[in-house]
Amino acid sequence: MITQHCGACRIDTVEESTGPFRTPAGIFADATDELIAPHLSWMAPDYMDADTQMLLFSFKSFVIRTGRLNILVDACVGNHKERPGRPQWHQQNWPWMANLNAVGLTPEDIDIVMCTHLHIDHVGWNTQLVDGRWVPTFPNARYVFSADEYRHWETLIGGSEVGDNVFNDSVLPVVEAGRADLVKNDHEIDHGIVLEPTPGHTPGHVALHLDNGGDTALFTGDLFHHPLQIAEPQLSSVVCTDADLSRQSRYDFLNRYGDSDAMIYPAHFTGTEIGKIVSAGEGWRFDFVVE
C-alpha cells in the first residue's frame, strides 16, 4: 500500500490482492509472442512472473482525502460473493476491510464511492452481506455511477453470470437503498474533482480527474490494465465491450497527458503502482514513482 499527495489531498491505496493473473495473450487478444518479446526484460519480475510468463495484477481501491470529503475510487471484488464462473473470486475472504482500517478509515468515514465502471472487480465492496441480505457497505456515502454504464448493465439482467450476479448483489442494492447518483460522464463531484469519459472497456467507463494545489492525479480504472498497454496502446483486453473505442480512448489519453506532470493511478498496476506517462521514441512508457 502507498500514500501519496496531490496538492493538499492525501491518496492511499487499499489493496485486496496481488498476484499472477493471465498471460499476455490471455488478457490481450492481439498480444503475439513477437509483440511481447521486446518487453520481457522490463516486465519481469515486478510486472510479470518470469517462470509462468503470467502478467501480475493488483486489485485495489484508492481513497482520496480532500479535507472535506473522503472519496473511495473503485471497490474491488468483495467478500462472500457468489462467483461460480470465476473461481479465483468465488466466496473469497480478502483482507480489504482490514487494509482500509490500516489507513485510518472505517466504512462510516467514506463520503463518496465512485466506480470507474461496473465490472466484477470494481464494485464488490459496494455491498456486504448482513443477515442474509446485501446492503451498502458505506452507510454515509453517496455512490457515483455513470448513468450510461448503469443502463448498459441494467439491460443485461438475466444474462451472463458476470453481468447478472454482479449487478444484483453489488449494484442494485445500492440503488434500491437510495444511495446511488446516476450521473453524466463529465460529472463534477466537487471543485477540482470531475469525471472524464474514457469509453470502450465498457460503454460508460470513466476516469476520475483530480486537480488540487497545482497538482493533477488521474484514476484510470481499466483504461490501462497493465503497463504493457502504455507501451503498446493498441492492445485492448478480451473483456472490452468495444475494443476499437477502448483503443481510441487510450491513444487520446496518452496524447493528452503524456509528458505532463499528471500522476496516473491505474487500478491494476503492480510494483510501485503509480507514475507518469513519458515519451519513448515514437511511443510511450510508464515511469513508476520509486518509493
pLDDT in tens, 20-68: 999 999 999 999 999 999 999 999 999 999 999 999 999 999 999 999 9
Q: What is the pLDDT of residues 180-193, one digit of tens each?
A: 999 999 999 999 99
**Peptide bond before residue 45 is cis, with ω within 30 degrees of 0:** yes
Residues 6 or more apart whose Cβ sits within 8 Å of residue 53: 23, 24, 40
pTM to 2 decimal places? 0.97
User: Is residue 161 pLDDT above 80, yes or no?
Assistant: no
Q: Which pLDDT belongs to residue 258? A: 98
Question: What is the CA 171 to chain-centroid distance, rounded?
Answer: 16
Cα(107)–Cα(250) distance, rounded to whole angstroms?
A: 33
pLDDT tens column, 128-144: 999 999 999 999 999 99
Going along the chain from its start, the domains and CATH numbers come out as 3-288 (3.60.15.10)
Looking at residue 174, its pLDDT comes to 98
What average pLDDT score do residues 81-92 get? Answer: 93
Single-letter amino acid code for the residue at 256: R
DSSP 192-250: TEEEEE--SSSTT-EEEEEEETTEEEEEEETS-SSTHHHHSTT--BTT-S-HHHHHHHH
User: Looking at residues 251-276, what average pLDDT do you find?
Assistant: 97
